[in-house]
Amino acid sequence: MKKVLMMESGSFKTIGGAANDTFELYKYLRARGGFDVELFGDFSKFGYDGALKLEDLESKKFDVVILNSIRDVAIAERYVLHDKGIKTVYVDRGDAVTHYSKALMKRAVAKVPSVMGRLNKPEYFDSKASKLAHSSNSKLARNVRDYVSKSYNIYLLGRMKRWLTCYVAINAEQIDLAKAFFKNSATIEYIPIAPHEKFKKLEIDRDFSGALHVGRLEETQKNVSFLIKGIKKVTDAHSELRGKEILRIIGEGPDEAYYKNLTDSLGLSRCISFSGFKSEGALVNAYNNCGFFVSCSRWESFSRVFIEAMACGTPVLANTNNDKIISYNPKKYVVMDGETGLVYRFGDIGDFSEKFYRLYSDRRLRESLARNAYSYATKEFSIEKTYGRYYEIVSRL
């Protein structure tokens, strides 16, 4: 029986969409049978404690390794990939190939610090960058984390080019970039993310017309400070919203305390609530009991939460940076502006606040977008089709 290892080392730090997707695919592959599948990561928040630990990896042999995080590359090279016959699959959830392409255009690839190559110490990046990355100077901290994390991703992507068997693009924009980068060294597959069947429309009354944000609470990618400052602009422009809850934030992460302090300092403690980590069932209820979903991230490879929200009949407010193309012919985005949600210009707090208020105040608009969002999500995305493609890939490797 083919032995398969699924890795998601990012789960040791924060439980996010990658961890959730990895765990759901793991359950699917085991249920279909034919493979001996094991997990590496921390999935205890899903009620699963059977995942392998770092010390387990060297003593086991695998036929196929599926990597779901760029950090998995460092760990796999050090502890797993000793046999040249091992087949490897990389799912580009972190949009590493796009970061590489942008850095190449800026001639920044050559400037990647050599220190990033210390693959025998995959924790090195965090320990050395932590002081600057969590500096009281928020702009410095953001720039350091952004540069170091992307540099690390670029370096590891270059390492992976030597041995990768199959690259999985999760949005259409990654396909051509991956073909140019890997050339003929790895096969390229396109498998967009799909919401789990548990994420569905419930027959309940929505008693909260405000926005919901779900995601990891860290600034480098998720950019939640922009969202909080955007809410401040909304309440400044519309006095009737001051002191009224209009945003619920679900998630946890390294910058949670910073976001709560920022909320308090702007006088928004009654407008914004923080709920921490939520179980899947509670998350489904939250999606079904809000007016719309809102995102502020600097980039996404494919935002799973967008389609989770739409599958629950909730429109999405996204931005021009994180709304990815899923098809070129015909051209389709994860969020279709004016059809399944609204899209604001990235970084434009005025455009954000205007569209946020439109969605909040216009019930008819929300309901029209919600109907379209639900139809679009259920038609375009299928969990059986998505996970079935992974089963086929593993079967033929």
**Is residue 339 domain-shared with residue 388, that is, in the same domain?**
no
292: nearest Cα among 243, 227, 248, 353: 248
pLDDT of 114? 37
The answer to whether position 205 is within a domain reads no
**Is residue 186 domain-shared with residue 304, that is, in the same domain?**
no
**Is residue 246 domain-shared with residue 341, that is, in the same domain?**
yes
**Is residue 370 domain-shared with residue 387, that is, in the same domain?**
no
Cα-based angle 261, 136, 106 (whole degrees, multiple of 5) = 115
pLDDT of 18? 83
pLDDT of 117? 39
**Is residue 176 domain-shared with residue 265, that is, in the same domain?**
no
Residues spanned by the domain of 79: 2-194+383-396
335: nearest Cα among 354, 353, 357, 359: 359
**Is residue 375 domain-shared with residue 275, that is, in the same domain?**
yes
**Is residue 254 domain-shared with residue 341, that is, in the same domain?**
yes
Query: What is the chain's pLDDT, residue by residue, as a tens digit (397 residues)?
Result: 999 999 998 877 766 778 888 999 999 999 999 999 999 998 988 888 999 988 889 889 999 999 998 888 888 988 999 888 999 999 998 777 776 666 554 444 344 343 333 333 333 334 444 444 444 455 544 554 555 556 666 777 778 888 999 999 999 989 988 998 888 899 999 999 888 888 999 988 898 999 999 998 989 889 999 999 999 999 999 999 999 999 999 999 889 999 999 999 999 999 999 999 888 899 999 999 999 999 999 988 888 899 999 999 999 999 999 999 989 989 999 999 999 999 999 999 999 999 999 999 999 999 999 999 999 999 999 888 899 999 999 999 9
DSSP string, 320-331: TTT--EEEETTE
Backbone angles phi, psi at 307, to 5 degrees: -80, -25
The answer to whether position 202 is within a domain reads no
Any bridge partners for residue 344, and if so which?
319
Structural domain count of the chain: 2
The answer to whether position 259 is within a domain reads yes
**Is residue 103 domain-shared with residue 186, that is, in the same domain?**
yes
The answer to whether position 204 is within a domain reads no
d(CA 165, CA 193): 20
d(CA 279, CA 44): 12
**Is residue 330 domain-shared with residue 242, that is, in the same domain?**
yes
pLDDT of 103? 56
pLDDT of 151? 65
**Is residue 369 domain-shared with residue 387, that is, in the same domain?**
no
347: nearest Cα among 229, 171, 213: 229
Backbone angles phi, psi at 266, to 5 degrees: -95, 5
Preceding amide of 192 cis, omega within 30: no
**Is residue 286 domain-shared with residue 336, that is, in the same domain?**
yes
The answer to whether position 357 is within a domain reads yes
Q: How many helices (H) and strands (E) does the chain have?
A: 15, 14
pLDDT of 157? 79
pTM above 0.85, yes or no: no
Q: Could you tell me the CATH number of the domain that includes residue 49?
A: 3.40.50
**Is residue 387 domain-shared with residue 363, that is, in the same domain?**
no
pLDDT of 334? 93
d(CA 63, CA 395): 11
251: nearest Cα among 285, 221, 224, 214: 214
From the number of C-beta atoms within 10 Å of its C-beta (0-12, 13-18, 19+), residue 377 rates as buried
- Positive or negative torsion for Cα 140, 146, 152, 155: negative
Judged by phi (left if over 0) then psi (alpha if -120 to 50, else beta), residue 243 lies in left
